[in-house]
Amino acid sequence: MTLALFALVGLLLGVGAERLIGPGRDAQDAALGGAPAPPRRRRRSKRRILGFGSLVVVVLLLAGTIGGYLWAKSVFDKIEKVDVSAQLGHGSNGTNYLLVGSDNGRTADDQRAGVSGARSDTIMVLNIKDGKAKMLSLNRDLWVDNPRTGQKGRINATYQDADGQADPGNLITAVTQNFGIPVDHYIEIDFVSFGGLVDSFGGIDVNFPNPAFDLASGLNQPEAGLKHLDGAQALAYVRSRHYTEVIDGKNVQDPTSDLGRVQRQQVFLREIMSKAGKKRNPFTLLSAASKMSNGLRIDDDMSMLDAARFAWSMGKLNPETVVLPTTPRTTSGGAAILDVGDGADAVLAQFR
């Protein structure tokens, strides 16, 4: 737009210069009785062509800018806005984005267990301050107070209302009340949309130290090394709960369980952010946003400018992973859960 304005100003100055300066040299020579200078039609023709060309450039730039804005607005308008403004807050330590990956009972594990309804399978807090970013994963098994019920339970259960439907406002409140983290903006994406996002950027590269598989998620990488994953393969990788490596001919399941899955999700997130950052073509970025818009939900306070600023920042940031200390235990009912461990306050203070 700035370039177009400069070109327009230059064009106007070029066209109006003759009027502002006064009659040309030929007219002056004729008025003084001298012989007129040789004709300068060729110069004037070149000037007219240059002026016309500048006008075309201005029109094309303006049309492209307006068209791009309208396309971006149409994509943004398709994204579902959730009414959580009452639960949002602002801290003094940068901007916090609550990133949620919802997994609505679609994995093989869920189908065997009869799981249905909305679930928040991945919960992360991304803090951006002074051009730097930190990422904190909140494990789905963290034992917290549910603001809606007043009872204890896993944090991913706070995403559901009494009817099993999505309740992002309650999840935001749970994060704020249990961990003291204010949430400035909320971004949620259905896991299925991850596949379309990955394909939009031509796939991602993930390093597998050993051959790996997970029958439940569909992951199957029979060879070790750096592998290029398409959308379906990346989805199987990021959703894997039974990540099993083949080491020295033996199947070894990841002993860290959900903690290992969180690490893999962060690897995925960094890789897709890096991919997005390398794409400077706005049409490619808009196309990617359009493909994932049906599975995306954001807070109703986020403007199109806020969303664009966030997306632009993602391409330039390499978030530092911050680990929340946790302690595993078993409840009286036999449930395996996680409590916040020693040293958690110092970690959480970075996001408050």
pLDDT of 31: 47
Average pLDDT over residues 193-202: 78
Query: What count of other Cβ atoms lies within 10 Å of the Cβ of residue 42?
Result: 8
> How far apart, in whole angstroms, are the C-alpha atoms of residue 270 and residue 156?
23
CB burial string 159-194: b at 16+ within 10 A, e below: bbeeeeebbbbbbbbbbbebbebbbbbbbbbbbbbb
Which is more confident, 178 or 239? 178
pLDDT of 55: 77
Confidence of residue 103 (pLDDT cuts 50, 70, 90): low
Average pLDDT over residues 8-17: 31
Find out whether 246 and 261 touch, Cβ atoms under 8 Å.
Answer: no
pLDDT of 39: 56
pLDDT of 257: 65
Instruction: Please classify residue 301 by burial: count the beta carbons closer than 10 Å to its beta carbon, then call 0-12 exposed, 13-18 middle and 19+ buried.
Output: middle
CA dist list (Å): 329 to 101, 139, 259, 332, 347: 25, 14, 15, 10, 21
pLDDT of 184: 96
Which is more confident, 26 or 224? 224
- Report whether pLDDT(27) > 80: no
Confidence of residue 22 (pLDDT cuts 50, 70, 90): very low
Taking all residues of the chain, what is their mean pLDDT, rounded to a whole number?
78
Look at 119-133, 154-168, 188-202, 213-227 and tell me which has the smallest mean pLDDT.
188-202
Confidence of residue 106 (pLDDT cuts 50, 70, 90): very low
Which is more confident, 146 or 256? 146
pLDDT of 34: 52
Crossing angle for the helix pair 2-21 and 41-78, nearest 10 degrees?
A: 150
Confidence of residue 345 (pLDDT cuts 50, 70, 90): very high
Give the percent of the chain with pLDDT over 70: 75
Residues in contact with 107: Cβ distance below 8 Å, sequence separation at least 6, in sequence order: 216, 217, 239, 241
Whole-structure pTM value: 0.72
pLDDT of 210: 95
- Report whether pLDDT(289) > 50: yes
CA nearest neighbour of 174 among 161, 193, 165: 161
Average pLDDT over residues 81-87: 95
Length of the chain: 352
Average pLDDT over residues 52-74: 77
What's the first-to-final CA gap in the chain, in angstroms? 38
Find out whether 314 and 277 touch, Cβ atoms under 8 Å.
Answer: yes
pLDDT of 233: 92
> How far apart, in whole angstroms, are the C-alpha atoms of residue 290 and residue 276?
14
- Report whether pLDDT(202) > 70: yes
pLDDT of 91: 84
